[in-house]
Amino acid sequence: MTTLPGPEPARPRATMRDVAALAGVSLKTVSRVVNGEPGVSTDLVERVERAAVQLDFRPNLGARSLRRSDGRTATVGLVLENLANPFSAALLRAVEDVATTRGVAVLAGSIDRADERERQLVAAFASRRVDGLVVMPTAADQSYLMLERRAGMSLVFVDRPPHGLAADTVVASNTAGAREGTEHLIAAGHRAIAFLSDVSGISTGQDRRQGFVDAMAAAGRSYRREHLVTGLTTMAEAEAATAALLGSEHPPTALFTAQNLVTIGAVRALRAAGLQHQVALVGFDDVLLADLLEPGITVVAQDPTSIGHLAAQRLFARIDGDTSPYVLEVVATRLVPRGSGEIAPSQSV
Amino acid sequence: MTTLPGPEPARPRATMRDVAALAGVSLKTVSRVVNGEPGVSTDLVERVERAAVQLDFRPNLGARSLRRSDGRTATVGLVLENLANPFSAALLRAVEDVATTRGVAVLAGSIDRADERERQLVAAFASRRVDGLVVMPTAADQSYLMLERRAGMSLVFVDRPPHGLAADTVVASNTAGAREGTEHLIAAGHRAIAFLSDVSGISTGQDRRQGFVDAMAAAGRSYRREHLVTGLTTMAEAEAATAALLGSEHPPTALFTAQNLVTIGAVRALRAAGLQHQVALVGFDDVLLADLLEPGITVVAQDPTSIGHLAAQRLFARIDGDTSPYVLEVVATRLVPRGSGEIAPSQSV
DNA sequence: TTGAAAGCGCTAACAA
DNA sequence: TTGTTAGCGCTTTCAA
């Protein structure tokens, strides 16, 4: 910890008034130039621009938004599960890319599975008058957002649909993807397949479980109750649950893990038991380095970048006044075989 | 893609005026209640709060900021390299956690190594009158930020110090960490160690190279010019550069990779060449799943969460009026041996 | 303890 | 083409 000199004296920000005074024009002319409105002589445009640069003028978007008839702030909010999770981070990045092309800034926040945080974040962003919100719904009910939408805030949901409210939503093909992943394990000859997922109250987990159940039923496979594990909120819990399954009286010969952290937890447990080459595994959502493990982890990959791009495009269409019916967009998942999902059932079971 | 009914009619947001009218009090009384100012009878507080809930009132923070003497927006900005990179994402999350405890929202943006993007993001956030900025400096010079700071925007830099400007900075122990990682390889018996890093214009890369060079010099080791590779901007470039090194006339027996994506690229190249058990590797910055590879990847781990927490605390201290000298805080890195860094030089070389 | 008036920086509406 | 005036929603200042 090294020290350096401290802050220098303050100098207040220049306003349009200051710029006008320096350029020798009226306030309104500055406003016209700053907003690129037509009908200002090139001479004045130049004088104003020079004055603006000289004073390091930054238009006050808060004041603009306050006065404008549409009230736009050129800011949108992102309410995601956890900004540190690779899936959320990729989503944020994708929304940012679209927003940037429109001069829109992005506020972001993490819910962390705490229902009240979702409402707190929405309230915080609403107080800042964001033009729109991209939400990964986590609370049991999103009908409270109807009021915000009526007040002019556009809404798009990602990863899973909202409850108690109709709205544009962009999701991955959860059920179909989970079905495909499960079928892949069935095709490899497995009968005892366990399903592990995160919080069950969230529809992605439910949809993926449905896909698993559908595939098992279609193949005429039954499964044990205890092979259906939900509510795994951390990687450590997933690891422990997997270890318990592997050590149980009727261990599964294959695992389907429904979320990225659950997948990693399961891999750790398999390694710890030395079973990574005996027990098959297919995970939902891809992970960096998954292809370099031995065996590589077979996954049903999502496309968070596409989901984010589509969500942002929907959002800005609404902000621009699109009043067409709400749509549910489903982004295809893709099965990526890498080894772990192609392991045949071990003879010992 | 399924369709649902479209948006319902708009209802404008309630203002303090509306709340005042409904509660039968003056505007100022509402302001007092909303801001938790003392000196309002409990009776009126209750009436105002009821009216506010009934009208779904959301205080307009833009208007508040415009009028308040301190001009605070309760919003800070984060200017990072790439929000999708795990290091940046963890940093954002850590800053968010501190900001949340203060009711402050976080704007975030990616520079993507485009120098002009850094200034664009700063300008975008300045126009939104953020109270402070956490910046991962990427452009060659940050002196332009002096004007923003004079105008009241607090600044903290992360990951590397700014150029042309003295300011609070929080960094990892880049030089010492790289030295330790290199010494680890030297201790394993390596003489021909290659260094691979990302963009050389960024001081983290330079500092880490310095650590490498120092360790080699201290051990009396020389190294070939061509074993010092910089400017690797993508994982693919890192992979190609590693492959070239491995196939060269004088292949290294060990690699020190100075950034997370460079590390992954190098691992891919080693695998492709089947040399992951022959050529040693130590990487700077940790990666998810690195411990599950075979061999596990030995890394010099950074602590982005601590860096983010410290940066946020510095920032809020400045926002709160701290005028003490600027400090440089160094967050320790930690060598995590996992296998790849403990490989002895192969006899064949 | 409560309220009235002024004005933050900007744009809408209108006038010259 | 340029400028004047009013007022967005809120807090400050001052008065009752």
Q: What is the pLDDT of residue A346?
A: 80
> Which of B5, B125, B327 is the closest to A3 by Cβ?
B327
Q: Are strands A280-284 and A298-301 parallel, antiparallel or unpaired?
A: parallel
Note the pLDDT tens digit of each residue in B45-97: 999 999 999 999 999 999 999 999 999 999 999 999 999 999 999 999 999 99
| Cβ neighbour number for residue B335 with a 10 Å cutoff | 15
Q: What is the pLDDT of residue A349?
A: 43
Q: What is the pLDDT of residue B199?
A: 79
Q: Spell out which residues of chain A touch residue B58, defining contact as CB-CB under 8 Å.
A: 123, 126-127, 151
Q: What is the pLDDT of residue A312?
A: 98
Q: Which helix (H) or strand (E) holds B315?
A: helix B304-319
Of A152, A220, A235, the C-alpha closest to A186 is A220
The rounded percent of chain B whose pLDDT value lies above 90 is 90
Note the pLDDT tens digit of each residue in B28-45: 999 999 999 988 999 999
Cα B162 → chain centroid: 14
Q: Which helix (H) or strand (E) holds B105?
A: strand B105-110
Note the pLDDT tens digit of each residue in A218-268: 999 999 999 999 999 999 999 999 999 999 999 999 999 999 999 999 999
Rounded CA separation B84/B16 (Å)? 40
Question: Which residues make Cβ contacts (< 8 Å) with residue B54, sequence separation at least 6?
Answer: B22
Grouping H, G, I as helix, E, B as strand and the rest as coil, residue B7 is coil
Note the pLDDT tens digit of each residue in B132-175: 999 999 999 999 999 999 999 999 999 999 999 999 999 999 99
pLDDT at B349 over 50: no
Return the bridge partners of B168, or none: B156
> Which of B93, B128, B151 is the closest to A75 by Cβ?
B128
Q: Own/partner pairs for A343-346, CB < 8 Å, 24+ apart?
A: A343/A188, A343/A254, A343/A277, A343/A278, A343/A279, A343/A280, A343/A281, A343/A295, A344/A188, A344/A189, A344/A280, A345/A188, A345/A189, A345/A190, A345/A191, A345/A192, A345/A253, A345/A254, A345/A280, A346/A253, A346/A278, A346/A279
Note the pLDDT tens digit of each residue in B251-274: 999 999 999 999 999 999 999 999
Which protein residues have Cβ within 7 A of any strand C atom? A 12-13, 15-17, 27-28, 31, 34-35, 59-60, 63-64, 66-70; B 25-29, 32, 39-41, 43-44, 63, 66-67
pLDDT at B2 over 70: no
Is the pTM here over 0.85, yes or no?
yes
Cβ atoms of B75 and B128 closer than 8 Å:
yes
E strands, chain A, are 2-4, 75-80, 105-110, 132-135, 154-158, 168-172, 193-196, 228-229, 254-257, 280-284, 298-301, 326-331, 334-336
Q: What is the pLDDT of residue A200?
A: 67
Q: Spell out which residues of chain A touch residue B327, defining contact as CB-CB under 8 Å.
A: 1-4
pLDDT at B323 over 90: yes
Q: What is the pLDDT of residue B347?
A: 56
In the chain, the amino acid numbered B74 is: A
pLDDT at B200 over 90: no
**Residue whose token pair is 């042309």:** B164
Rounded CA separation A63/A58 (Å)? 12
pLDDT at B22 over 70: yes
Q: Are strands B326-331 and A2-4 parallel, antiparallel or unpaired?
A: antiparallel
Grouping H, G, I as helix, E, B as strand and the rest as coil, residue B226 is helix
Low-confidence ranges of chain A (pLDDT < 70): 1-8, 200, 347-349
Q: Do the Cβ atoms of A106 and B106 come within 8 Å? A: no
Say what the alpha-carbon torsion angle A166, A212, A199, B293 is, to the nearest 10 degrees: -120
- Mean pLDDT to the nearest integer, B186-205: 90
| Residue of chain A nearest B63, judged by CA positions | A66
Q: What is the pLDDT of residue B81?
A: 93
Chain D footprint bases within 7 A of protein beta carbons: 1-5, 7-13
Q: Do the Cβ atoms of A62 and B125 come within 8 Å? A: no
